[in-house]
C-alpha cells in the first residue's frame, strides 16, 4: 500500500495544522456570512411581492421598489379591470409613518400597508384570520417578527389584550398579529384597512393608489393579458407585471441599483483572497521545510508529477478539514443573527456546497502557487 505522504506531512506539525484550519475556517465563516447577508437581503426584499394574491400587478413607472412606491391614478386600475379577461381588482396603499414604542415611547419609522378588507390581496399568516378586526376604526395588525425596538407587542397583546400606542401622532390599537419579518428596507410592518390607512395619512390623495392587483378569469394567460393591458393603457405612467416578473423587478433593484449587493459580493471576494493567502503560506512553508525530503524523493526516482500530487492532496485535505468547523460555526451564527435581526438567514445545502467548492478552489490555487518552489528544487543544489 502506498504511504499517505500528504496526510502524514499535515499531521506531523500539529500546531501548524491547527493554524491552517483556523485560517481556512475564518475565511469560510467570512464567506458564509457575506453570502448569508446577501441572500437574506434578496429574500427579505421580495417577501411582500411574493405574498400578494393576484395574477397581474400595476405599478407607477416611477416606482423603483415596494419599500417606497410612487402613487398613480386609481383610474388606471379601473381601466385595466375593463379587460374582458380580468375577473376582479383591488388597490394596495403603502407608506411609512412614525411608530411610538408602547413601553419606551421612542419613535421609529414603520412600514404600513392598507387595503379593502372585503378583497384581501395579501397572503401572509395571520392576515386572513384577522380581516374582521381591521374593519374597526383605528385597529391594526402588527408583524410579530418585527425588530424588538418596536416593543414587546406580541407579549403585551397576549397578556393584556389590545395594545394602544401612537402612529403619526394618531392613537391606534393593535388587536392582531401576522407574520412577515424585517428586511433591509423595513424593520417593522403594520396592516390595516384602507379607511384606517387614510386616517393616518389625511393629506394623501384618495384618487391615487400605490399598487393595483388584478385577478384573472380561469384559463386566462397572464402574459397575454398583461400585454393587452399595456396596449390599452397608452398614457405611459404605469407598468404591468406578472407575479414572476414583479418579483424579479424587485430583485433587480436591490441587485443592480443599490450598493448593498456589491458590498456583500466584495466581502465574499475578500474572504476568498484571505483564505487563499493563508493556505498558500501554510503550503509554501511546508514545502520549504521539507525540501530536502522532496529532493531525496526526486533523487531516488520520484518525478515532479508525484510530488506535485502530494502538495495538491495536502491542499484538498486542508480544504475539507478547514470547512467542517466553519460549517458548524456558520449555522450557529446564522441562527443567532436571524433571531437578533429577523432576517431570513438560513443555511441551505446549495450555499454550503458553494462555500465548500470555493474552499477547494482557493486551496488548489494556493497549492498551484506553492509548487513553484518544489518544481525548481534540484537535488544536487540542495545537497
pLDDT digits (tens, 9 = 90+) for 265-289: 888 888 888 888 888 887 777 777 7
Task: Give the pLDDT confidence score for residue 3 in this predicted structure.
Answer: 58
The total number of residues written for the chain in this structure: 383
Task: Give the pLDDT confidence score for residue 284 in this predicted structure.
Answer: 79
- By DSSP bridging, strand 170-178 and strand 107-115 are unpaired
Higher-pLDDT residue of 190 and 258 is 190
Nearest CA among 242, 215, 194 for reference residue 53: 215
Q: Is the dihedral angle over the CA atoms 376, 380, 381, 383 positive or is it negative?
A: positive
pLDDT band at 291 (very low <50, low <70, confident <90, very high): confident
> How far is Cα 339 from Cα 321, in angstroms, rounded to an integer?
29
Q: End-to-end CA distance of the chain, in Å?
A: 29
Query: For 195-231, what is each residue's pLDDT tens digit?
Result: 999 999 999 999 999 999 999 999 999 999 999 999 9
- According to the per-residue pLDDT averaged within each range, which of 59-68, 86-95, 178-187 is highest? 86-95
* Segment holding 72, helix H or strand E: strand 72-73
> How far is Cα 347 from Cα 28, in angstroms, rounded to an integer?
13
Query: For 300-342, what is each residue's pLDDT tens digit?
Result: 777 667 777 777 888 888 888 889 999 999 999 999 888 877 7
Task: Give the pLDDT confidence score for residue 1 in this predicted structure.
Answer: 40
Coil vs helix vs strand at 190: strand
> How far is Cα 136 from Cα 193, in angstroms, rounded to an integer?
8
Tell me the average pLDDT of the chain: 87
Q: What does residue 147 show for φ and ψ, rounded to 5 degrees?
A: -65, 150
C-alpha cell at 103: 413601553
Q: What is the pTM of this model?
A: 0.79
- The region of weakest confidence among 230-244, 251-265, 279-293 is 279-293
* Mean pLDDT (whole number) for 340-354: 86
Higher-pLDDT residue of 133 and 255 is 133
* Mean pLDDT (whole number) for 295-300: 72
* Contact by Cβ (8 Å): 192, 71: no
The percentage of residues in the chain with a pLDDT greater than 70, rounded to a whole number, is 95
Higher-pLDDT residue of 156 and 266 is 156
C-alpha cell at 195: 379607511
Amino acid at each position: 500500500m502506498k504511504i499517505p505522504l500528504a496526510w502524514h506531512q499535515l499531521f506531523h506539525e500539529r500546531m501548524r495544522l491547527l493554524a491552517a484550519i483556523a485560517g481556512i475556517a475564518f475565511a469560510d465563516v467570512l464567506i458564509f456570512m457575506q453570502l448569508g447577508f446577501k441572500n437574506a437581503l434578496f429574500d427579505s426584499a421580495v417577501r411582500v411581492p411574493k405574498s400578494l394574491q393576484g395574477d397581474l400587478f400595476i405599478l407607477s413607472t416611477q416606482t423603483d421598489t415596494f419599500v417606497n412606491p410612487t402613487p398613480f391614478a386609481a383610474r388606471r386600475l379601473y381601466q385595466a379591470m375593463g379587460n374582458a379577461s380580468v375577473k376582479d381588482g383591488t388597490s394596495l396603499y403603502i407608506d411609512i409613518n412614525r411608530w411610538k414604542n408602547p413601553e419606551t415611547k421612542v419613535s421609529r419609522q414603520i412600514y404600513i400597508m392598507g387595503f379593502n378588507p372585503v378583497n384581501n390581496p395579501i397572503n401572509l399568516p395571520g392576515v386572513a384570520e384577522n380581516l374582521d378586526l381591521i374593519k374597526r376604526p383605528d385597529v391594526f395588525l402588527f408583524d410579530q417578527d418585527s425588530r424588538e425596538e418596536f416593543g414587546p407587542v406580541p407579549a403585551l397583546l397576549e397578556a393584556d389584550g389590545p395594545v394602544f400606542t401612537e402612529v403619526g401622532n394618531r392613537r391606534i390599537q393593535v388587536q392582531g398579529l401576522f407574520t412577515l419579518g424585517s428586511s433591509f428596507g423595513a424593520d417593522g410592518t403594520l396592516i390595516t384597512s384602507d379607511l384606517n390607512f387614510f386616517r393616518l395619512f389625511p393629506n394623501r390623495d384618495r384618487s391615487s393608489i400605490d399598487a393595483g392587483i388584478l385577478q384573472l378569469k380561469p384559463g386566462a394567460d397572464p402574459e397575454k393579458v398583461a400585454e393587452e393591458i399595456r396596449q390599452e393603457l397608452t398614457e405611459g405612467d404605469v407598468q404591468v407585471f406578472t407575479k414572476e416578473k414583479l418579483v424579479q423587478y424587485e430583485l433587480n433593484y436591490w441587485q443592480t441599483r443599490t450598493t448593498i449587493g456589491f458590498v456583500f459580493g466584495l466581502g465574499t471576494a475578500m474572504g476568498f483572497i484571505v483564505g487563499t493567502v493563508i493556505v498558500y503560506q501554510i503550503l509554501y512553508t511546508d514545502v520549504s521545510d521539507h525540501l530536502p525530503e522532496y529532493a531525496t524523493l526526486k533523487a531516488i526516482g520520484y518525478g515532479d508529477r508525484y510530488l506535485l500530487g502530494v502538495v495538491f492532496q495536502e491542499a484538498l485535505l486542508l480544504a475539507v478539514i478547514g470547512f467542517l468547523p466553519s460549517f458548524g460555526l456558520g449555522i450557529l451564527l446564522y441562527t443567532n443573527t436571524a433571531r437578533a435581526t429577523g432576517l431570513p438567514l438560513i443555511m441551505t445545502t446549495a450555499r454550503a456546497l458553494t462555500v465548500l467548492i470555493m474552499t477547494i478552489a482557493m486551496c488548489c490555487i494556493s497549492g498551484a502557487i506553492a509548487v513553484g518552489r518544489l518544481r525548481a528544487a534540484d537535488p544536487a543544489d540542495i545537497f
